[in-house]
């Protein structure tokens, strides 16, 4: 658990600028990766016993495949597609395969550039050494060594696609139940789901499996902290319907995330939640009475896409009443701690979704954007838990950031 200075927070404006600039940068890097891979394919396709026209056709076919995969992947990531529960074959070929290609191609191009750059540096160093020592240039070429290096470079270039495929087919679905014990002042068994992202990569079958897992955990309180859809309202009713199957002792409560604002609008979302009997807390709270005394569940609107008002969410609460604050984004934590909120639950960052773990820190886009990318944090007696969530955004690939169903044993 990280201890934080109350002033340790990023400006929302800064985060939004960073987010937009980051997306543009990734887009251009992805395009450059496709251009580079096509160029490398053109260099690789050498057929001494074939005509030049055959080589041109082979290169054109491979280049066309690269462009089509990238274009389809980009279209799926950027366009609202309201195809609810498509056939499995269509899902794999039209949605998963292009998405895996986009992620893998960026890493593959980077590896090839590094490998080639290292080779160029090695040859340059050898030339300088020969010039310095005055030794003649050796005319003999070790073809075995060259083939070995080429095979190694090929294997390294293919590895990102294998990892991306794994991250989409298995790692994105192999969730864990993350269990924590925290002081709260009331004995409660709370289950949190966040960043569900119902859509092409989170089907009705997936939603049902997660709802069944929550039911099996027998929560006293079930909370949902935003981003129920990816990019189409068409998926919201089935998502909320599956979550409404959970019957918790003290009820289910929800708050909105940025995707819910972008692709539904608060009014439409509230109507769906109301239809299935789940209170949607937007800058408001509910007081719940237990044999040990009351506690409150408050919810705040999304910090960037919504109209957040923490003061309104807490207004009227008896001072000292244990309170759980639901916030899609975790950056509200310093302000919540200042207001005496005992526990803030958030998500948004997917634990990085694609993350590299180093001995002293983790590296991902999320870890660069926020001081609260995942896990447990504390300011004085207030605590924040940021779940990795169960869904994915932009791409269905998760690497080193497993989906998470969070179980909090509060005492």
pLDDT at 342: 98
Question: In this structure, are residues 194 and 225 in contact, taking their beta carbons and an 8 Å threshold?
Answer: yes
pLDDT at 334: 97
Question: In this structure, are residues 354 and 327 in contact, taking their beta carbons and an 8 Å threshold?
Answer: no
For residues 134-139, give the mean pLDDT: 58
Contacts of residue 44, Cβ cutoff 8 Å, sequence gap at least 6: none
pLDDT at 10: 39
| Confidence band of 252 (pLDDT split at 50, 70, 90) | very high
Q: What is the pLDDT of residues 267-324, one digit of tens each?
A: 999 999 999 999 999 999 999 999 999 999 999 999 999 999 999 999 999 999 999 9
**3-state secondary structure at position 323:** strand
pLDDT at 313: 98
E strands along 160-205, which residues? Answer: 176-182, 188-193
Calculate ∠ Cα 223-224-228, nearest 5°. 165
For 178-410, CATH number? 3.60.21.10
Query: What are the boundaries of each domain within the chain?
Result: 12-171, 178-410
């Amino acid at each position: 658990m990280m201890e934080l200075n109350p002033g340790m927070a990023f400006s929302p404006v800064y985060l939004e600028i960073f987010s937009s600039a980051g997306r543009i940068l990734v887009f251009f890097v992805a395009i450059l990766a496709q251009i580079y891979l096509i160029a490398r394919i053109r260099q690789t396709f050498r057929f001494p016993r074939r005509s030049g026209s055959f080589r041109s056709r082979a290169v054109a076919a491979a280049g066309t495949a690269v462009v089509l995969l990238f274009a389809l992947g980009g279209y799926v990531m950027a366009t609202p597609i309201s195809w609810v529960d498509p056939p499995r074959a269509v899902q794999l070929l039209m949605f998963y395969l292009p998405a895996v290609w986009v992620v893998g191609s960026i890493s593959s191009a980077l590896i090839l550039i590094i490998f080639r750059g290292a080779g160029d540096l090695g040859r340059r160093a050898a030339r300088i050494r020969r010039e310095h020592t005055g030794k003649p240039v050796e005319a003999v070429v070790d073809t075995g060594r060259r083939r070995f290096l080429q095979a190694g470079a090929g294997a390294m270039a293919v590895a990102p696609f294998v990892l991306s495929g794994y991250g989409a087919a298995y790692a994105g679905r192999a969730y864990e139940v993350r269990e924590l014990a925290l002081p709260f002042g009331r004995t409660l068994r709370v289950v949190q789901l966040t960043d569900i992202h119902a859509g092409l990569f989170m089907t009705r079958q997936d939603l049902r499996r997660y709802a069944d897992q929550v039911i099996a955990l027998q929560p006293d309180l079930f909370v949902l902290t935003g981003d129920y859809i990816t990019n189409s309202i068409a998926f919201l009713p089935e998502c909320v319907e599956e979550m409404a199957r959970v019957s918790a002792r003290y009820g289910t409560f929800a708050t909105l995330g940025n995707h819910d604002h972008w692709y539904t609008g608060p009014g439409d979302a509230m109507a769906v939640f109301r239809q299935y009997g789940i209170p949607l807390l937007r800058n408001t709270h509910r007081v719940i009475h237990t044999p040990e005394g009351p506690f409150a569940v408050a919810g705040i609107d999304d910090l960037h896409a919504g109209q957040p008002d923490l003061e309104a969410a807490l207004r009227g609460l008896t001072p000292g009443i244990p309170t759980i604050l639901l916030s899609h984004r975790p950056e509200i934590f310093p302000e919540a701690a200042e207001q005496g909120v005992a526990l803030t639950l958030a998500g948004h960052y997917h634990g990085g979704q694609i993350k590299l773990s180093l001995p002293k820190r983790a590296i991902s886009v999320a870890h660069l954007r926020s001081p609260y990318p995942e896990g447990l944090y504390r300011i004085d007696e207030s605590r924040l838990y940021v779940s990795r969530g169960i869904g994915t955004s932009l791409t269905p690939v998760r690497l080193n950031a497993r989906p998470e169903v969070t179980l909090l044993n509060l005492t």
